[in-house]
Amino acid sequence: MTYYLISLAGLLPIFIILGLSFNLLLGYGGLLSVSHGGFFGVGAYVTAILITNNHLEFIPAVLIAAAITGVVSLSVGYAAGRLSDEFLFIVTIAVQVALVELFNNLSVTGRSAGFAGIPRPTIAGFHLNSNTDVGVLIWICCAIVAVICYRVVRSPYGLLLKALREDVPAARSLGKRALRTKVTVFAFSAAIAGVAGGLYACNIQFVSPADFTVDRSVEILALTIIGGLAAFWGPFLGATVVVVLPEALSFANIPDTVAGPINGIIYTLAVLVLLVLRPQGILGRKDAVRSKVVTAGSDAAVPEPVDASPSRPDPTVHLGIGAPEPGVPHQPPVELRSDGLGVAFGGLKAVDCVSMAVRPGEITALVGPNGAGKTTLFNLLTGAVRADEGRSFFGDREITRLSIERRAQLGVVRSFQEMRLFAGMSVLENVQVAASDPAGETLLGQFLPVRFRRGRGGERQRAEEVLRTLGLDDRRDVLARDLSYAEQKMLMMARLLATGARCYLLDEPMSGLDQAARSQLTALLRRMVQDGTSVCIVEHSMQVVREVASWVLFLESGHLLTEGTPEDVMSDPELRTIYFGQPA
Ligand SMILES: Nc1ncnc2c1ncn2[C@@H]1O[C@H](COP(=O)(O)OP(=O)(O)OP(=O)(O)O)[C@@H](O)[C@H]1O
């Protein structure tokens, strides 16, 4: 009985480690994979081979196994960055099946008969002789992995993972590196699963392909969901359920042949019930479930009268935009310019040879009827859509071929008509992730001492400052999806301002706002451009354009028909006909 309990106690931390690693992927990163069982196997086999055949000690063997598992997972990580969720899911199934096939057919893995005779681990010449010694080793490793995972999820990298879980295009438009982050989290998570595999091999002293099938992947998925997505302690609870349940069935004298399927049915039912009644899992928070993007028309964002109470500070009073941060050189004003920019979708020329400029220190309005190509022009200027023709420049620098995140890092950011807030993250987190310097968001950087870390740091203070300035500091802990419509618009602006960009392209920022909120936003935009920042807004209301803009670009059927002061453009009879349908 004691032997039995010890071996069970050795199994539990292994599943906790698997859950911790998978929670990074699914809970924090929103990436659904069913190849974790296979990665667990890679770690187990590599450790077994290195210890048994190459007589390596435990620590180098398991570190090499983790590294190899991480490398093997890179293909899936790359797919995660490139593919939609559905295709990623299919890729991970294929990788899982392929890995089991390899385990079954390679002579070095012992084929379907498995790999037997794995010696107990040796550490620094000290041989662990008993199951108790190995159990202690596994728990120590589990504690180390837990500390590492805790550090990752609390870091700027962890915050970025959550932002990517919520909305990849929005994160990229803030300068965040989605592909790199997804690839690294996949490799990191797989490497930890590899460590779990190494511990498993040393604990059981025998591994076979049956231990690492898709069932194991589903088990890891189930334990993570049961414990709670993005709940740090979730894997501890989930692993306990997964390890104890089969044992409970065996105590009930249910034969192995029946116990296996019953096990699977119970997991499946538990996961289904949870997904319906409590999708965030037992210990998870509501915000860990990927949110619908907050859109202007969604339930979460039904326009309601703005809370323009007198107590809300005037955003123009304290706005420190333009005041250089200590130690940060002042950024000179820069013009965003296009030269003959154009793109066609099939036969439709959405933007046709447009040459324009968004000048520093001015609010430019981009107007035109529905379908004129205004949003597409924003997409071209920010790199969301690749131009078929023409070039774009930011100051002296050509940016035509640069990605959306690279342009944002240079200082060109945009908002979306649908706002695209990180709906399941708090107000503070939304702004903090925007304020964080992409250079400081590497996975490795989170483990370096502060003085060796890249990036500016201090993102939390900057985020708090921006929230204070925009009068949102009392809402900092509220989820973005729970804000009023007007507050969401302000949060959208706060998120952009926190990037410290020099050029802002705002797609219908005033839409849905009442007069009080509009005035608040107008004041903010005016204050923004005072230091040479450039702002371009897409706007349908000519009244707003007159109030806010000093220059107007008129687009129609993809062509830039004219540009000038609001008065000039509005008084042109031909344009009035096009725009308002009034006879010239
Ligand atoms: N990805 C796409 N694929 C195909 N057609 C597109 C795509 N994006 C835009 N279009 C088309 O290009 C044209 C211009 O669209 P766009 O959204 O840029 O216009 P808009 O001026 O912003 O309109 P609105 O004021 O209604 O937002 C429209 O006819 C639209 O249907």
Residue owning tokens 């949003």:
375
The pLDDT of residue 286 is 66
Cα dist. 561→39, 352, 366, 378, 569 in Å? 58, 11, 11, 17, 10
Domain with CATH 3.40.50.300 in the chain: 315-580
Instruction: Compute, in degrees rounded to 10, the torsion defined by CA atoms 452, 456, 458, 461.
Output: 180
- What are the structure tokens assigned to 541, written together? 């209301």
The pLDDT of residue 256 is 75
Q: Which residues line ligand 1 (CB under 6 A)?
A: 345, 348, 350, 368, 370-376
Tell me the C-alpha distance between 282 and 234, whole Å. Answer: 7
Given the CA of residue 540, which atom of ligand 1 is nearest to it? Answer: 25
The pLDDT of residue 308 is 37
- What are the structure tokens assigned to 337, written together? 């310019």
- CA-nearest residue, atom 25 of ligand 1: 370
Mean pLDDT per 10-residue interval, the chain, length 584 residues: 72 97 95 96 98 97 98 87 86 96 97 96 95 95 98 95 96 96 96 98 96 94 92 95 82 78 82 81 69 45 38 39 43 89 96 97 95 97 97 97 96 96 96 92 86 72 94 96 96 96 96 92 94 95 92 96 93 81 57
The pLDDT of residue 477 is 96
Given a contact cutoff of 8 angstroms between Cβ atoms, the answer to whether 51 and 202 are in contact is yes
The pLDDT of residue 312 is 34
- CA-nearest residue, atom 7 of ligand 1: 345
- CA-nearest residue, atom 26 of ligand 1: 370
Burial 81-101 (b: 16+ CB within 10 A, else e): beeeeeebbebbeebbeebbe
Query: Residue 179 — φ and ψ, nearest 5°?
Result: -65, -50
Q: State whether ipTM is beyond 0.85.
A: yes
The pLDDT of residue 454 is 64
Burial 333-363 (b: 16+ CB within 10 A, else e): bbbbbbbebbbeeeeebbbbebebbbbbebb
Element holding 508 (H helix, E strand): none
Query: Residue 209 — φ and ψ, nearest 5°?
Result: -55, -30
The pLDDT of residue 77 is 84
Tell me the C-alpha distance between 415 and 120, whole Å. Answer: 57
Choosing from 341, 348, 374, 376 the residue with most ligand 1 atoms within 8 A of its CB, the one to mutate for a pocket test is: 376
The β-bridge relationship of strands 503-507 and 412-414 is: parallel
The listed CATH number (3.90.600.10, 3.40.50.300, 3.40.50.720, 3.40.190.10) that belongs to domain 315-580? 3.40.50.300
Choosing from 341, 348, 579 the residue with most ligand 1 atoms within 8 A of its CB, the one to mutate for a pocket test is: 348
Q: How many helices (H) and strands (E) does the chain have?
A: 22, 14
The β-bridge relationship of strands 206-207 and 115-116 is: antiparallel
Cα dist. 183→174, 218, 245, 360, 392 in Å? 19, 22, 34, 37, 30
Tell me the C-alpha distance between 524 and 292, whole Å. Answer: 28
The β-bridge relationship of strands 534-538 and 363-367 is: parallel
β-strand partners of 127: 122
Given the CA of residue 346, which atom of ligand 1 is nearest to it? Answer: 4
Tell me the C-alpha distance between 395 and 401, whole Å. Answer: 15
| Ligand 1 geometric centre to CA of 377 (Å) | 9
| Ligand 1 geometric centre to CA of 375 (Å) | 7
Tell me the C-alpha distance between 9 and 455, whole Å. Answer: 42
The pLDDT of residue 457 is 64
Given a contact cutoff of 8 angstroms between Cβ atoms, the answer to whether 57 and 120 are in contact is no
The pLDDT of residue 455 is 60
